[in-house]
Amino acid sequence: MTHAPAFRRRSAGKGSPARPIQPPDPVRLAAVEAYLEFDRGGALRDVPPEGLPSPVDRRLYSQLLLGMVRHKRYLEAEVTRLSHRGARRPQRAVAALAMLGLFQLRFLSAVPAHAAVFETVQIAPRLGYGRAKGWVNGVLRTAQRELDSGAADPGTLPLAVRTSHPDWMVERWRERYGEEACRAICEANNRFAGTTVRCEGPDAEGAAARLSAEGIAAEPHPRVRSALVVEQTGALLRSTTFRDGAVYVQDAASQLLTAWVAPLLEGWAIDGCAAPGGKLTQLVREATGTARLVGIDRHLERIGMIRENFDRLRQTPTPLLVADAERLPLQPGSPGTILLDVPCMSTGMIRKYPELKWRKRPSDIAAYAEAQRAMLAEAARLLKPGGCILYSTCSLEPEENEGQIAAFLEVHRGFQRVSFGGLAPPAVLAGQAEAQITERGDFQTLPGADWMGLYGAILRKRAE
As a whole number of angstroms, the distance between CA 345 and CA 406 comes to 19
Secondary structure (H, E, C), 46-90? CCCCCCCCCHHHHHHHHHHHHHHHHCHHHHHHHHHHHHCCCCCCC
Helix (H, G, I), strand (E, B) or coil at 293: strand
As a whole number of angstroms, the distance between CA 106 and CA 114 comes to 13
From the candidates 182, 273, 344, 394, which is the catalytic residue? Answer: 394
DSSP string for residues in 125-190: GGGT-GGGHHHHHHHHHHHHHHHHHT---GGGS-HHHHTT--HHHHHHHHHHH-HHHHHHHHHHHT
What residues contact 441, with CB distance under 8 A and at least 6 apart? 417, 418, 419, 420, 421, 422
Q: Report phi then psi at 456, rounded to 5.
A: -145, 145
As a whole number of angstroms, the distance between CA 207 and CA 203 comes to 7
- The bridge status of strand 335-341 relative to strand 388-393 is parallel
Verify whether residue 186 is a known catalytic residue. Answer: no
Q: Which residues are catalytic?
A: 394
